[in-house]
Amino acid sequence: MIIKGQATVVKHTGSHYMLSALPGWELFPAVLRGKIRLKGSSATNPVAVGDMVDYEAEVEDGGTVTLENPAAVTAVHPRRNYIIRRSTNLSRQSHIIASNLDRAFLVVTLDFPQVKLPFLDRLLVTCEVYNVPAVIILNKCDLYGPEYDQMREAFRDIYEGAGYPVMEVSARTGEGIDRLTSVISGKTLPDGTENEEYDPCRPYVSLFSGVSGVGKSSLIRALDPSLEPRVGDISDAHEQGRHTTTFYEMYKVQSGGFIVDTPGLRGFGLVDLKKEEIATYFPEMLEASQDCRFTPCTHTHEPGCAVKDAVEEGRISYERYSSYLGMLEEEGKYR
């Protein structure tokens, strides 16, 4: 008997994929049949975690799909969005980390390891480029005594000012975890309001990213104690060109929603951004630039530049502008 269906890729190991028809969670193995390539994609992995695929399987009556008799992926549906990383700084090859994401949670701390704003800004730009709404999680807030007040306020001003929600949480004490749980389930928006479009039949998928030590695994365990996120720095293996397979994996959160963890991922790469494009991925600069005298304007030396005016008047943060200048300068190195 031939079974045909649609399912989401939730895991990729060296030899096969695991699929599940989300929001259900009944995993079954599959392999690729023939050449599967999504038009226009130069990624080294044709199928990524989060992809919706068509599959077929041949099973005996009453039988099931097994590792010995896996289903076959026959097609990949177009991706709503995805997050990519370059394989190395020099190569043009890229690897899709995950696709069809509702949100990317970028986890940072003011304590150890202290967040580096230019790094965070790069992640935010990548999220903008690939159309994944970003939320900043400020973890370890149990450690922020009064001596952190100023830094914390400055941080919130910069990122909320740029339009990004900032959620303060503590994986250790549980502060803010209920709210985060609700956002991950899809029922609540990051600003705390109800998601009026919430649909229980739709899988809500969130990416977790952040440098090692910020508390990603602790947070995932705080969201669902039954989860055991993988630890270790897998991006190193990737960088050294070893087998580029089991990297990312989707987890089901008991209270609703799905998480893709990216252990050890130091950042995701920018792919092919032109100099004049970069500012358009800083939402607050894009908005201000409508009033620049020249188009295109690099917002550096041009007279009548509304972005520079906004920076001088404090409507755009100096830190964000300075990250932008850093990216402009380095742009040549990306390609």
Q: Which residues bind ligand GDP (CB under 6 A)?
A: 139-140, 142-143, 170-172, 210, 212-218
- What residue is closest to ligand GDP based on CB? 215
Min. distance of Cβ 261 from ligand GDP in angstroms? 8
The upper half-sphere exposure of residue 38, i.e. CA atoms within 13 Å in the direction of its Cβ, equals 21
Question: Distance from CA of residue 1 to its chain's centroid?
Answer: 39
Question: Which residues would be at the binding site for Zn ion (CB under 5 A)?
Answer: 292, 297, 299, 305, 307
Closest CA to 136 of 167, 177, 170: 167
The site partner of 305 among Zn ion, ligand GDP, none (C-beta below 5 to 8 Å per kind) is Zn ion
* Nearest CB to ligand GDP, comparing residues 84 and 219: 219
Minimum distance from CB of 121 to Zn ion (Å)? 18
Residue closer to ligand GDP, measured from CB, 206 or 217: 217
**Closer residue to ligand GDP in complex, CB, 80/116:** 116
Decide: helix, strand or coil at residue 143.
helix
Question: What is the rounded CA–CA span in Å between residue 31 and residue 37?
Answer: 14
Query: 35, exposed or middle or buried, with CB in 10 Å at 0-12, 13-18, 19+?
Result: exposed
Q: With respect to Zn ion, which residue has the nearer C-beta, 121 or 261?
A: 121
Of 183 and 220, CB closest to ligand GDP? 220
CA pair distance 11, 27, nearest whole angstrom:
9
Q: How far is the CB of 284 from Zn ion (least distance, A)?
A: 13
* 307 touches, from Zn ion, ligand GDP, none (C-beta below 5 to 8 Å by class): Zn ion
Smallest CA-to-CA distance from 258 within 102, 152, 88, 130 is with: 102
